[in-house]
Amino acid sequence: MSTDNNDETRNPSRRRFLQSSAMAGAGLIAGAGAASAAAPDPLITEVQDWASVFGDPVDATPYGMPIHFEEHVVRRNVEWLTESTASSINFTPIHALEGTITPQGVAFERHHSGAIELSKPDYRLMINGLVDRPLVFTFEDLLRFPRAMTTAFCECAANGGMEWGGAQLEGVQFTQGMIHNMEYTGVMLRDLLSESGVKPEGKWIYVEGHDASSNGRSIPLEKAMDDVMVAFFANGEALRKEHGYPVRLVVPGWEGNMWIKWLRRIGVYDQAVESREETSKYTDLMPDGRARKWTWVMDAKSVITSPSPQAPIRHGKGPLVITGLAWSGNGKIDRVDVSLDGGRNWQEARITGDARPKALTRFHLDIDWDGSELFLQSRAIDDTGYVQPTKQALREIRGLNNVYHNNGIQTWWVKADGEVENVEIA
């Protein structure tokens, strides 16, 4: 195990002394212009333990975990949301992450009957239904198909759903954290389907998992033959158990519920199965009492991840980095605008790194904060020309009984002391 705590236990009195003298020195003063130090910083002028003695040896952590200073960067759940944590959701700590790739260990989980343990030797995948040849593949079989890679966001259709009626949860982890973005390696579903041979009357596939919920979903054949992947690596390593080890479906741009984990069977049909997950759930109740179904695509959306309620501004006025994420299930992010005054005026943010279709895109805006209150908002524009709407614009169309597909603009109220609240404004 790690020996990360040793510097505390080895010489606690020395460490306490160093910390208090650092404070007394007031080495860093918030504010505009370069600060000046009243006294030399002992962290610089004195030889520190870590600059003198050994750190951890190479055999200390065969599989490395984040250093304990980062132990707050974890998935979190909201107990009152569900009756059972076996059929529940947790949230990615996006307020604490940067870049675009989500480490598997903090990527949100949604299970309908818990994360199951299924080994590669025990793994089977069946393709049957309207095919010329129903087939069974082992995990080893899948490794012999031509391999493909894709980077894609996976967003729960209910991401932001608790905010539909108004601001409810304090923190971007809870309001927009049912999302992750990984680089997948696997085989294209179309290659598996062509191995079985889809009959002309086959228009839909139905995909289901090995777990007790099976969580089946119908997908039109056009999508199945386009960009859907049967993945077994994520971010360069095997899928984690909670992400469907050893095999999951990747359905770029479409709601996370369709990304079947522990993929067991692909049935080919002439119609949608109309399973529980695509009728009772994941349908969108409209004001007239009817409901939209087959609302698969996740529309363009963005959110500022910092500052945010869990990431307040503590450094005072002056240079401030505003950072956030944008994505679209319909294509590539073209532009992200940020408003500091609750949507009165907007400026274009900088897209940092690549903007890939159906993948998380990072944006930044560097400002000189004058210390006055802000109403931060961001809005994404994708390459179809779609502009992320306000929550109110969505409510005017969909009413108040919608739950899924809330891609409305988020407002963060930054107060003069740097604390941040989740608010709605008029």
Partner 1 sequence: MSKSRNSAFAALLAAGLVAGPALAEPLGIGREALPEEIAAWDVAVLPDGTGLREGSGDVETGDELFAEHCASCHGDFAEGLDSWPSLAGGAGSLNDPRPVKTIGSYWPYLSTVYDYVHRSMPFGNAQVLSVDDTYAITAFLLYSNGLVEDDFVLTHENFTDIAMPNAEGFYPDDRPETEYVQFSTEPCMTDCIPGAPEITKRAAELKVTPTEEDGTPAGTLPVISAAADAG
- Restricting to residues 211-250, which ones interact with partner 1 according to CB under 8 A? 212-214, 216, 221-222, 225-227
- Show Cβ contacts of residue 242 under 8 Å, excluding neighbours closer than 6 positions: 109, 111, 115
Q: Any bridge partners for residue 230, and if so which? A: 187, 249
**Count of residues of this chain found to bind partner 1 when the rule CB under 8 A is applied:** 134
Distance in Å, CB of 226 to partner 1, minimum: 5
Whichever of 59 and 375 has its CB closer to partner 1, that residue is 375
Whichever of 237 and 373 has its CB closer to partner 1, that residue is 373
Handedness of CA 56, 61, 62, 63 (dihedral sign): negative
- Does 336 bind partner 1 (CB under 8 A)? Our answer is no
- Show Cβ contacts of residue 58 under 8 Å, excluding neighbours closer than 6 positions: none
Whichever of 104 and 175 has its CB closer to partner 1, that residue is 175
The backbone torsions φ and ψ at residue 18, rounded to the nearest 5 degrees and listed phi first, read -65, -40
- Does 280 bind partner 1 (CB under 8 A)? Our answer is yes
Selected binder of partner 1 within 10, 14, 68, 292 (CB under 8 A):
292
Cα separations in angstroms, 358 against 47, 98, 251, 334, 361 = 49, 18, 10, 12, 9
Distance in Å, CB of 352 to partner 1, minimum: 20
Distance in Å, CB of 287 to partner 1, minimum: 6
The backbone torsions φ and ψ at residue 266, rounded to the nearest 5 degrees and listed phi first, read -120, 110
Whichever of 243 and 264 has its CB closer to partner 1, that residue is 264
Question: What residue type is assigned to position 168 of the chain?
Answer: Q
- With 0-12 CB in 10 A as exposed, 13-18 as middle and 19+ as buried, what is 25? middle
Whichever of 6 and 330 has its CB closer to partner 1, that residue is 330
Tokens describing residue 13: 């009195």
Scanning 4-12, 239-247, 344-352, 356-364 for contacts with partner 1 by CB under 8 A, the matching segment is 344-352
CB 279 within 8 A of CB 351: no
Distance in Å, CB of 59 to partner 1, minimum: 30
- For residues 251 and 223, give the distance between their C-alpha atoms in angstroms, rounded to a whole number: 8
Which x/- pattern, by CB under 8 A, does the window 144-183 give for partner 1?
A: xxx-x-----------------xxxxxx-xx---------
Distance in Å, CB of 259 to partner 1, minimum: 18
Distance in Å, CB of 76 to partner 1, minimum: 5
Whichever of 60 and 143 has its CB closer to partner 1, that residue is 143
Whichever of 112 and 243 has its CB closer to partner 1, that residue is 112
Selected binder of partner 1 within 56, 132, 354, 370 (CB under 8 A):
132
Whichever of 8 and 237 has its CB closer to partner 1, that residue is 8
Tell me which residues in 89-128 interact with partner 1 (CB under 8 A): 93, 95-96, 112-113, 126-128
Tell me which residues in 350-409 interact with partner 1 (CB under 8 A): 375, 379, 381, 384-389, 393, 397, 400-401
Scanning 7-15, 201-209, 242-250, 319-327 for contacts with partner 1 by CB under 8 A, the matching segment is 201-209
- Show Cβ contacts of residue 200 under 8 Å, excluding neighbours closer than 6 positions: none
- Taking alpha carbons only, the member of 334, 412, 426 closest to residue 378 is 412
Whichever of 54 and 80 has its CB closer to partner 1, that residue is 80
Distance in Å, CB of 58 to partner 1, minimum: 28
Whichever of 151 and 422 has its CB closer to partner 1, that residue is 422
- For residues 58 and 56, give the distance between their C-alpha atoms in angstroms, rounded to a whole number: 7
Scanning 97-105, 287-295, 351-359, 363-371 for contacts with partner 1 by CB under 8 A, the matching segment is 287-295
- Show Cβ contacts of residue 64 under 8 Å, excluding neighbours closer than 6 positions: none
Selected binder of partner 1 within 54, 84, 117, 368 (CB under 8 A):
84
Distance in Å, CB of 348 to partner 1, minimum: 9
- The enclosing H or E element of 194 equals helix 189-196
Classify residue 158 by its DSSP letter. Answer: T
- For residues 309 and 305, give the distance between their C-alpha atoms in angstroms, rounded to a whole number: 9
Cβ neighbour number for residue 237 with a 10 Å cutoff: 10
Whichever of 237 and 385 has its CB closer to partner 1, that residue is 385
- For residues 374 and 339, give the distance between their C-alpha atoms in angstroms, rounded to a whole number: 9
Distance in Å, CB of 421 to partner 1, minimum: 5
The backbone torsions φ and ψ at residue 45, rounded to the nearest 5 degrees and listed phi first, read -80, -20
- For residues 162 and 398, give the distance between their C-alpha atoms in angstroms, rounded to a whole number: 15
Classify residue 207 by its DSSP letter. Answer: E
- Does 29 bind partner 1 (CB under 8 A)? Our answer is yes
